[in-house]
Structure 1
Amino acid sequence: MEKATKRKMTGVLLSIFILILSLTPPAQSYFNLPTEQRLTVGEELKINLNFPQHFLQKLSFYVQTDTGNLLQQNGKVFTERSFKGTDGWPIAAEPGRVNLQMRLFGLIPLKTVAVDVLPETAVVPGGHSIGVLMRSKGVMVIGYSPVVDSKGVKHYPAKEAGIEIGDLIITINGEVVKTDGEAARLIDKLGESGQEIQLRIKRNNKELLITLKPLFCAETKRNRLGLYIRDSAAGVGTLTFYDPKTGYYGALGHIIADAETNKQIALGEGRIINAAIQGINQGEIGRPGEKIGTFLDKTTLSGDIRKNTTFGIFGKLDRHIQNSLYKEPIPVAFSNQVKEGKAEILTVVNEEKIERFAINIDKVMLQNKPEGKGLVIRITDPRLLSVTGGIVQGMSGSPIIQDGKLIGAVTHVFVNDPTRGYGILAEWMLLEAGIINQQSEKVVKGAIAPFSIL
């Protein structure tokens, strides 16, 4: 009985020890290590592990490449089958794919990391203030409005038929509707016949058919369904990057959603144009601030919107643009190259002048797949804090630059601390824009065979 109790206590203590060990920085750096990484030609093939030096000496990295000249070390072609992390990291000399298998004592396989080496991707950093104009594909239901009959009784035909806030009305009796005015006129006209009508709606990426009957409203003197609808959205944001090779751009770093329903606006058509910042409502704890902007008639910056996604809006500019602070395109850092510490953002707080402001990267979330909120950032620039109070609406998309490379974009503010907020990694925005993918397809010819465990 006593032996069984001792074994149980030993097991409990061992479990607690393993749990504590797994929460240490070295263990976290290992568990969070992405198994898919990217880097550019000329950079070290370095695996970021927060291990003490004596432990790194026990690790070996076994190499497989799809071309014999892909790696170099000390200016010579790297031909070894393996190396130690304490020996120095090889340099990626040309595009291709590398598999690195980490082994303990050269025998025990721990983890394999696949690294795609790409040509250097360079973009013009943004910071430009933009006006965003979007028209949805159909009209969005943003609320219920009573239909009052001749006796003063309120009715809600659409609500009773099952129409929900956030639904997108695509067609009415088979006729495509593009504007709220078109929808109102068509419903009034069809309602005069006293017949039921059929709406084709989109809800959570599913299409439904709903049949209902319009009612005559004594207050508005027309036939109605009892809905508030909207067909467009407009606002001020910030350009993140422009690719001079393709003409594509990325902006905002987050999805455009309807202000009333918080649902994604299904893109019908849209454009970005020049905007100027006329004032700032400062951010406070519990109340986000905002830039007050006006749209400009000049067309030095204009383009279409082709995507509205969780990573921002994307499209093609009508003409080349420049950044007054960076005369030449700058390289893009991949997620495994971003580090905590000092950085800067580019944004506009007055008229159209792009300025740089100091920030700190407080945390980098290692991500194996595209996700938002990959960075926690903190505004440290005294002037920006005095003007805005921190991160404000309209600053979304402001490029984040570290060591001369574009690493991400500002996306969200912490409501309870306007000096801090989230950023999205630039890598995911370029993937969404198709810029990295287009280059990868030319570089990576196919996966190389996985390692065998010896």
Structure 2
Amino acid sequence: MNPGKWYRWVGYILSLAILLLGFSTPFQNLASLPSNYRLFDGQEARLSLSMPVTAQVSVENPDIVHINGLFRYFSQVRLNDPIQVAAKRTGHTEMTLKLFGKVPLRTVRVHVIPQIKVIPGGQTIGVKLKSAGILVVGHHQVTVSGNRKVSPGEEARLQIGDMIISIDGKPINEVEKVGALTESAGKSGKPMKLTVMRRGEKLEMKLMPAFDILDRSYRLGLYIRDSAAGVGTLTFYAPSRNTYGALGHVITDMDTQMPIAVGGGEIVHSNVTSIAKSQNGDPGEKIAHFFREGKTLGNIEKNTSFGIFGKMTALPDHGVEESALPIALANEVKPGAAQIYTVVSGQKVEKFDIEITHVSRQDFPATKGLVLKITDKRLLERTGGIVQGMSGSPIIQNGKVVGAVTHVFVNNPTNGYGCFIEWMLRDAGLMDEGTSSAPYRQAS
């Protein structure tokens, strides 16, 4: 046989062997081992590789985790049998797996963290969010003469989504104060000095107001906003820390679709008056109103990819659980039956059955960790599935808080996404950040 052809055939055979190996259960089990693994203090876990070989497991700090019940730096294990990992105290360690004690297979950093419990919410809340500055949401033309119109803001190269955080060196986050400053600058003939945040970058700009001959006042040629309001669902609260988390997703400005930087705000009790049912291609929504005399539940300090967070000043009413439940880390959540807590009428929180149909492996914070399906006939009859305003509804599985509803599938509203509770707890400051394990629309 020609040597070139022989080498080619060897290459084909090796490629096929590697491809088949990649589809084998042992290889997939090994590949599925996360680089970061999180356990609660006192928790045990089983790692199954189903490989018919022996290996050596080395543990950097055996006082933090025991392997197969033993306090050892090195242990010989049969990979056909599950490896028992027991968390003995809080801390960080590395666990290295070597084939025949020599060939490195995988290194896993193990984080043992204190047990965390929270009270699941489900209450519908009104959200009043104040931005950290003045948000530019559009440009408009100012009539400066009979046939001439200009936009001073556009000429100054302010962009939609920019946030004005100071004018002439003074912090600003209230639209009501902009008019007087604009009028003063226009009459003095001096341009306004703006400090602007644009996609995380601070810019210094100048803007000269124009006199509008129609309404006889000076204008910036900008549409601006300083706040947002809406309805969502409280996910959890931790009375011992006076901390809460809600929504499960970021609040964005309705015009710019950019996250709103928090300059203050509050969450309040809200009452669901009716439901616009979801249909394929048309997600429904909760119709709710805030109580003028209703109590404020807490402030808003953060607006992140996983929701809003802050300090709680009053405990919410009408919940399902009075006592705190343990939370499940991301690597504990499994496909199967679960429940969500939410409100569909008035203020009463109710339990509804769902099925978690898919769980994504996430070593680090990321949205859309869960795919869920509404299976409760009562909820389907009343809402048609997931509706806007349901985002933040806590997901409970096997007596543990595992996540929150975040999005609805537009073309199939009985299905949607959820995020892991672990990532919400991290953003709420309840978990160390170093240890945290069809088109759709946000269900806000």
TM-score (norm 1): 0.88
CA–CA distance in structure 1, aligned partners of residues 123 and 266 of structure 2 = 15
Deviations 1:187-220 (A, max 9, x none): 1232123332222211011111222321111333
For the 8 Å contact 1:198–1:212, the answer to whether it is kept is yes
Aligned: 1:383 with 2:378: yes
Question: Which one-letter code corresponds to 2:194 in the other structure?
Answer: L
- Counterpart for residue 442 of structure 2: none
Residue 408 (structure 1) aligned to one of 397, 403, 421:
403
- Counterpart for residue 41 of structure 2: 41
- Counterpart for residue 181 of structure 1: 176
Residue 319 (structure 1) aligned to one of 298, 314, 321:
314
For the 8 Å contact 1:273–1:302, the answer to whether it is kept is yes
Aligned: 1:116 with 2:111: yes
Q: CA RMSD in A?
A: 2.6
CA–CA distance in structure 2, aligned partners of residues 204 and 372 of structure 1 = 21
Question: Which one-letter code corresponds to 1:246 in the other structure?
Answer: R
- Counterpart for residue 221 of structure 1: 216
Aligned: 1:212 with 2:234: no
The farther-off stretch of 275-284 and 396-405 is 275-284
The farther-off stretch of 299-308 and 401-410 is 299-308
For the 8 Å contact 1:119–1:439, the answer to whether it is kept is no
Question: Which one-letter code corresponds to 2:266 in the other structure?
Answer: R
TM-superposed CA distance for 1:146, in Å, is 1.3
SS state of the match for residue 188, structure 2?
A: coil
Deviations 1:276-300 (A, max 9, x none): 1112222233333221111124556
Deviations 1:130-182 (A, max 9, x none): 11111111110111111123304321221122110000111222232221121
Q: Structure 1: give runs of 5+ residues left out of the alignment.
A: 442-454
TM-superposed CA distance for 1:420, in Å, is 1.8
CA–CA distance in structure 2, aligned partners of residues 404 and 277 of structure 1 = 27
Deviations 1:43-92 (A, max 9, x none): 21322x4x44xx2x52546242636485486xx76558424452662533
Matches within 5 A, 1:15-414: 15-19=15-19, 21-23=21-23, 26-47=26-47, 49=48, 51-52=49-50, 55=51, 57-60=52-55, 62-64=57-59, 66=61, 68=63, 71=66, 78=71, 81-82=74-75, 83-84=77-78, 86=81, 89-297=84-292, 302-321=297-316, 324-414=319-409
Report the CA distance shift for 1:310/1:61 in structure 2 as closer, same or farther (over 3 A): farther
For the 8 Å contact 2:297–2:316, the answer to whether it is kept is no
- Counterpart for residue 429 of structure 2: 434
Q: Structure 2: give runs of 5+ residues left out of the alignment.
A: 437-444
Report the CA distance shift for 1:87/1:18 in structure 2 as closer, same or farther (over 3 A): closer
SS state of the match for residue 145, structure 2?
A: coil
SS state of the match for residue 419, structure 2?
A: strand
CA–CA distance in structure 2, aligned partners of residues 210 and 88 of structure 1 = 61
For the 8 Å contact 1:59–1:102, the answer to whether it is kept is no
- Counterpart for residue 439 of structure 2: none
CA–CA distance in structure 2, aligned partners of residues 323 and 89 of structure 1 = 42
Deviations 1:78-123 (A, max 9, x none): 5584244526625334434443222334443211212222232111
Report the CA distance shift for 1:61/1:427 in structure 2 as closer, same or farther (over 3 A): farther
CA–CA distance in structure 2, aligned partners of residues 337 and 27 of structure 1 = 21
Identical counterparts, % of pairs: 42
For the 8 Å contact 1:118–1:439, the answer to whether it is kept is no
